[in-house]
Each structure stands twice: as structure tokens, then as C-alpha cells.
Amino acid sequence: MDLRPRSHPTYLAFVVHRVSGLLLALFLPLHFWALGTAISGEARLDGLLRWTENPIAKAAETVLVVLLAAHLAGGLRVLALEFLGWRSRQKDMVAVSAGIALLFGLVFLLNVV
Amino acid sequence: MSGASDRRRAEPQGRSGGVNRPRNRSARGETHLWVVQRLTAMLLAIAVLVHLVMIVTAVRGGLSAAEILSRTRGNEAWLVFYVAFALAAGLHGAIGLRNIAAETIGLRGRRADLAWVAAGLVTAGFGIRAAIGLYA
């Protein structure tokens, strides 16, 4: 089996975009529902926020921030490719996308810990 | 030869006739979903950037309900932003899931598409409920 096309960084970018999109789309209804329920009172919202203070929730939030930033940066690359015809330097654009995702994750982690 | 010429003659008839109509409708539906996916992507590019910057700055020093609500209560600009964000995210996510389901498990067709759009609108509804809660 020829795996050459799959060894290209843009294939990895495709996989990251798809997996991050899938996980975010599954998380989204839960996020909206929990927020909508908690927002009904200041005490309830404070209760939810206190619950997210534990290390596991913080780690999960960091992963979500990285996934969201990765999906955003990867999505901008796809839009640039489709609508602006930016076909050159795709490896660099993939690297910049990954850098943006990790940067947001790191800044979030630094601020939240 | 005659078979090929028959096919050539039959093609325009087939396109306007009943046989290919579902396929044309399906292609049109596919195009509509693609356009919605890209338009919501463009809107989300801005909204997600604002949301991410907000997240990483707001968590500094801890979050409280009073702090969040003081920023959003009675603020029409945030309400419009979050309603548009929730609608775009709900539809974008559902169309993305629909594409993955079609490619991986072969879940296709008009009924499946309608179910995905409905799921997207329900998700958006949850988000809009939260946005109204932040405003009211």
C-alpha cells in the first residue's frame, strides 16, 4: 500500500481538522446546555465555575482550547486555499496553524494555573 | 454506435425528466449545505477568535458569575454576538458531523440531511437560551 500522500503534513492537518471538528461538535450541545442551565441563577453559575476548578477539568479545558484554536487555524488555511487560491507554502501554513493552537493552549494554561 | 447515439439523444430528456430529478435535488442540497458550511466558517473565524481571546484573558485570576454577568447583562452587542455565534456553531457542527457520517458510515440522503440540520438548530437553540440567560 502506497502511504506517500498520507505522510505529507497537509494530510496530518486534515486529520487534526477532522478530529478537532468532530470532538468540538460533540461537545458543543453539552456546553450550551450546561451553560444555559447554570446561567439561570448567579449561585448556580458560581457552582459550575467552582466545579471547573479541579485539575482534571482544567486539563480538559486546556485540551478544548487547543482543539478550538487548531480547528480555527486549520479552517482559515482551508478557506485561504479554497477562496484565495493560496496553494504555495502549505507546509509553512500547517506549521503556523499548529503554532497558533499550541500558543493559545499555553497562554490559557499559564493564566488558569 | 446506435446505443451511444441513443444515449446522447436520451441524455437531455433524462436530465429534465423524472429519472434524474432526485439526483439534481440532492446535488442542489449538497451545494446549499456547502455554502452554509463556508459562510458559517467565515463568521466563526471572527467569533472563535474573539471567544478564544476572551477565554484566555478572563480566566486570569479566576472566574466568577458576578464578573461574567456584569459584562453581559443588558448588553445588546454581546447578545447579538452570542446568538449569531450559537447559530453559526450549531449549523457548522451539524453539517460537519453529517459529512463525517456520510463518508465513514455511508449515512446519506434527504432525511439524514434534514435530521442533521434539525440537530444543528436544536444545538443552536441551547446556545441561544444560554445567550439570553447571559443578557437577561
B88 in contact with chain A, both atoms CB, cutoff 8 A: no
pLDDT of residue A87: 87
Backbone angles phi, psi at B109, to 5 degrees: 110, 165
A102: amino acid identity, one letter: L
Q: Where are the alpha helices (DSSP H) in A39-89?
A: 42-51, 55-83
Residue A11 confidence (pLDDT) above 90: yes
A63 interface with B at CB cutoff 8 Å: no
pTM: 0.86
Give the integer Cα–Cα distance in Å for B48 and B84: 12
Q: What is the ipTM of this complex?
A: 0.90
Which residues in chain B are closer than 8 Å to A72, comparing Cβ atoms? Answer: 44-45, 48-49, 52
Query: What confidence score (pLDDT) does residue A108 get?
Result: 96
Evaluate whether A63 touches A19 at the Cβ level (below 8 Å). Answer: no
Return the residue in B54, B100, B126, B135 with the most chain A beta carbons within 10 A, the one to mutate for interface testing. Answer: B126
Q: CA triplet B105, B106, B111: central angle to 5 degrees? A: 115
Confidence of residue A1 (pLDDT cuts 50, 70, 90): low
pLDDT average, residue stretch B81-94: 98
CB contact under 8 A, B52 and A65: yes
Separation in Å, CA of A1 to nearest CA in chain B: 20
Alpha-carbon span B122 to B94, nearest angstrom: 10
Q: Of B21, B11, B20, B23, give the one whose Cα is nearest residue B3.
A: B11
